[in-house]
Amino acid sequence: MRVMLGLIVVLAVALVVGDRVAVGMAEDEIGRRIASEYSLPQEPQVDIRGFPFLTQAVDGRYGDVGIRVGEWSDERISVRELEVTLNEVDAPLGDLLEKRTSNLVAGKATATAVVPYETVQRFAPEGVESISHGPDGLRVSGTFSVQGIPVPATVVVTVAPTGDGIEVTPVSVQPSSGGPTISLALVRESLTFVVPLQRLPLGAQVTDIRPGAEGLHVTAVAHDVKFSDLP
């Protein structure tokens, strides 16, 4: 009986070790493919969650796959701390072994990232000198033209996702100490601008934006992601 129990323990350990080796190989392969697909400077960290992995592989369905990319950029904009979570991934084992992506589908992809304020400022109108997050909200400071006269001021703005990207809209004006009072209507038109970020990788559409200390924290979501349709 003791010998039998010992064999069972050894077999269980071997299965766990084999499972972890297999999942590590799969994670490395996914990381290499994503790095190649998006021309990333380094491979992302991939985490196939759930246990055992081998059972998921045989079934061809994975409940939760996390991908930590870090920095990512497209033709116009760069982001930091990019992470993607894939849910309900359908990846038949035969397709993976043959490196076919036509049948690979994720029920949902959720991406999060940080857009640094220096990136946001690149798309701001002339006169904007700094963008920061304070107790009263997102603040845009600089010297702005009011009826042809340069006036230093700080404008509190809101951010919202639109079809064209992240829209930045003034909601209040704080003149500099001793400076003249500025009408919001006078600066709203000239200081409303758009940061052209509509999507993150995997076709995820930006749905939520929250200002933070280091930048805009954005969340993007996509449904029924077909890997064969990705650019």
**CB-count exposure of residue 117 (10 Å: 0-12, 13-18, 19+):** buried
Residue 135 has pLDDT above 90, yes or no: no
Regarding predicted confidence, which is higher, 18 or 167? 167
Tokens of 195: 């940061």
Residue 7 pLDDT: 28
Whether 69 contacts 81, CB under 8 Å: no
pLDDT tens figures, 59-102: 667 777 888 888 888 778 889 999 988 888 776 666 665 665 56
The pLDDT assigned to 143 comes to 85
Q: Are 129 and 120 in contact (CB under 8 A)?
A: no
pLDDT in tens, 20-55: 555 666 666 666 766 666 666 667 777 776 655 556
Quick check: helix, strand or coil at residue 3? helix
Q: Which candidate, 147, 123, 138, places its Cα nearest to that of 197?
A: 123
Cβ-contact 110, 85 below 8 angstroms: yes
pLDDT tens digits, one per residue of 142-166 = 888 777 777 888 889 999 999 999 9
Q: Above 90 in pLDDT, residue 219?
A: yes
Indicate the domain borders of the chain.
2-116+200-229, 124-195
